[in-house]
Chains A and B, each alone.
Chain A
Amino acid sequence: MQETTANQVAANATSSFTEHLQRQRPDLLPFGQLPFGQQPSAQQFPAGNAATPLQAPHGTTIVALTYAGGVLMAGDRRATMGNVIASRHIEKVFPADQYSVLGIAGTAGIALDITRLFQVELEHYEKIEGTLLSLDGKANRLGAMVRSNLPMAMQGLAVVPLFAGFDRPAGMGRLFSYDVTGGRYEEQEHHTVGSGSMFARGALKKLWRPNLPERDAVSVAVEALYDAADDDSATGGPDPVRQLWPVVYVVNRTGAFRVPERELAAMAGAIIESRAVAQREA
């Protein structure tokens, strides 16, 4: 009797918000509305097939790179639905907690909910345990969430995040990419996800160099997004008409901070000007 009570208490002690929701309120989870342990079958999501793909807004390009003091992440402001621009203002890079950020590409609705869940997950752990989760721990939790979304991904509603944070014990910024099955891969130097990622990656290969100062690193990220927008119709470039600039977060020893619009406007302006002056095709 004593032992079963102890076992029960131990089994119910969880510091994970997602686990708590799976047990108590599975309906609130962004993926799968089924009680803990049950996997949804394909018949329950008849929405998409090759002939009539489900139309939902998709987020596009995210770039992340390391620099001298840590790591930074930038995302364009466009969401597309087929050939239509669904949103010009969407933000796809978010602070996950004090020392980490995540960017999302893929089905925007699910991705935004996963982001929100991930933010609460980290804060919940911090409040219950009284200490921050390690950076690897955070990266693993995000991988588990992406994996939970696999049934939806099979229906064409995939979410692919990029995760970056400052590893305080190691004293450096680190980058993690994911595949739709939740596979987690640590990336070196820089990485990109989303439809324009190929072009952004090409740009980063030429622009990135080790130990970039913070300001130059932000400029490199904005220019990589500019190149992605140049060749990928689903990626939005800087928009001087509506005064829309990419969302950029830097993460260093002191925390995660959003780069102010004013600075981004100046950097994007300088890039546009330098390209215009050069009068070249690309």
Chain B
Amino acid sequence: MTQQFYVSPEQLMKDRADFARKGIARGRSVVVVSCRDGIALVAENPSPSLHKIGEIYDKIAFAAVGKYNEFESLRQAGVRYADVRGYSYDREDVTARGLASVYAQSLGAVFTAEQKPFEVELAVAEVGSSPDEDHLYRLTFDGSIADEKGFIVMGGQADKVSEAVAAGWQGALDFAGAIRLALAGLVADKETTTLPPSAVEVAVLDRGSESSRGTRRAFRRLEDADITALLAEEN
């Protein structure tokens, strides 16, 4: 019979955290920016069908970095949670805070109880009627939850990207400005200075979806042509 070595809980948690951090840093970054028009979500993602950004509910979107199978299962669980809640209570009773806390609990449980922690980092964004009422939550692999102001940068060389985004961020940006800022941030850790629209995935949560598009669902995915048109607008 093999002897089980003693590993201190501190060491065990540290090893797990290092393992998860390494997995997350290997990927490419995602930037979530709150601005005047709403919330812009921009991910470096060459695949047009395997999304890192998704719609959860009327005003709530999801963005993730890390292992696709892990965050995809979390995204689907989030959609189920939100739809069940909205169906059994009312649509306006579904909030980002409730969803983020469910995510935090699931990630925390996986981090301590499972063989291996999830190598993911999530952002849950909710657009409000004014920029002050926007909510951005960052969820890390161990179940920590943080309420962020203005923007979130996750994954890849997050420090460098975050620096670049922080330098240009202001609340008065429109969608074109916010997406331009996010794209400028995403190239901060690269040789190139621009990313083609086909290399990024962009979605927005429209602040005025009821008045501009006549729908409660604020989430809108931007196609390559939409991105090109939006960025071509006057600077």
Contact = CB atoms under 8 A, between A and B. Distances in A.
Tell me which of A24, A124, A127, A128 has the highest count of chain B C-beta atoms within 10 A of its own C-beta: A127
Nearest to B82: A127
Contact of B79 (A24, A28, A117, A127): A127
Given A127-B56, A130-B51, A28 B87 contact: yes
Contacts of A124: 79-80, 83
A20 B87 CA distance: 12
Nearest to B79: A127
A25 B88 contact: yes
A21 interface: yes
Given A20-B80, A124-B79, A130 B87 contact: no
Interface of A (DSSP majority class): helix
A117 B87 contact: yes
Contacts of B3: none
A205 interface: no
A127 B87 contact: no
B220 to A, nearest CB: 12
B142 interface: no
A128 B80 CA distance: 9
Interface residues of B, number: 14
A120 interface: yes
B88 A127 contact: no
Nearest to B217: A123
Interface of B: 49, 51, 54-56, 76, 79-80, 83-84, 86-88, 217
The 4 A-B residue pairs whose C-beta atoms are closest, nearest first, are: A127-B79, A124-B83, A120-B87, A127-B55
25 contacts: A17-B80, A17-B83, A20-B80, A20-B84, A21-B84, A21-B87, A24-B84, A25-B84, A28-B84, A28-B87, A28-B88, A120-B83, A120-B86, A120-B87, A123-B83, A123-B217, A124-B79, A127-B55, A127-B56, A127-B79, A128-B76, A128-B79, A130-B49, A130-B51, A130-B54
Given A28-B88, A127-B56, 7 more contacts: A20-B84, A21-B87, A28-B87, A127-B83, A128-B79, A130-B49, A130-B54
